[in-house]
Amino acid sequence: MADKKKIAVTVKDLHITYRGLKKTSIRASWKNFGNKIELFHALKGVSFEIEEGKILGIIGTNGAGKSTMLRAIAGIFSPDKGKIDLHGNTISLLSIGVGFNKKLTGRENIFLSGMLLGFSEDDIRKKEKDIIEFADIGDFIDKPVKTYSSGMYSKLAFAITAILETDIMLIDEVLSVGDAKFKEKSYNKMKELISDEHRTVIIVSHSLDTIEELCDEVLWLNEGEVVKIGKPKDILPEYREFMKD
């Protein structure tokens, strides 16, 4: 009898709605105070499961709900309706602009990020040197993160997530940021990490070549809804045709 496949992430009927103010004049706002809230339905009943050890790529146009999906799985956004079950797994989100206190130094953020991921101070200290070496940002490691370029920010963020390994890794476009040398290093590190048969990875990327090479399955979102989910060889040709229209 074959072993039952272990599920790492379950998303069921997920709905997330953003609330914002409509663009209007101050005078009009006072007249129509109760009617000026604008709703944007970012995710509309999304459901899927990921098996342990699989790599899922999420594709879709801008505004499709890809990054919202990752942030919901990471626990940053709360669903308005539906359920996310991580089945007891530890999780990390790698995304530019998420997770650092910009007033703190890079070194301080290593410890802050690590503790938020559930690691002890001793565990982080054991990996501190490896993280700093991998990030390769020189003396900036002891300068406030607010002084960093986007490339330096992404290097440190990737190094923390790559060295402090969690059961589930969520990656939002970070592989496309940084200089050519770091892109190659991070891409090779990512391939090494996802070769672990027990690690589950979800990647959001506009690079279909990256999705095609790294992912076992692809989830296609459009306007907050699932269009299709399946093997890259089945989904990507249809998506490329869709993008031509």
The answer as to whether 18 is a domain residue is yes
pLDDT of residue 1: 43
Read off the CATH number of the domain in which 14 is found: 3.40.50.300
The answer as to whether 59 is a domain residue is yes
The answer as to whether 51 is a domain residue is yes
pLDDT in tens, the chain (245 residues): 445 689 999 999 999 998 765 555 555 555 555 556 778 899 999 999 999 999 999 999 999 999 999 999 998 899 999 999 999 998 988 776 566 899 999 999 999 989 888 889 999 999 999 999 999 999 999 999 999 988 888 889 888 888 988 899 888 876 655 677 887 887 788 778 777 788 899 999 888 998 998 899 999 999 999 999 999 999 999 999 999 87
The answer as to whether 95 is a domain residue is no
The answer as to whether 153 is a domain residue is no
Q: Give residue 240's domain range.
A: 1-89+167-174+208-245
The answer as to whether 156 is a domain residue is no
Give how far Cα 163 sits from Cα of 33, 116, 189, 214, 217, Å. 50, 15, 10, 19, 25
Domain tally, the chain: 1
Q: Which amino acid is at 93?
A: L
pLDDT of residue 154: 82
The answer as to whether 144 is a domain residue is no
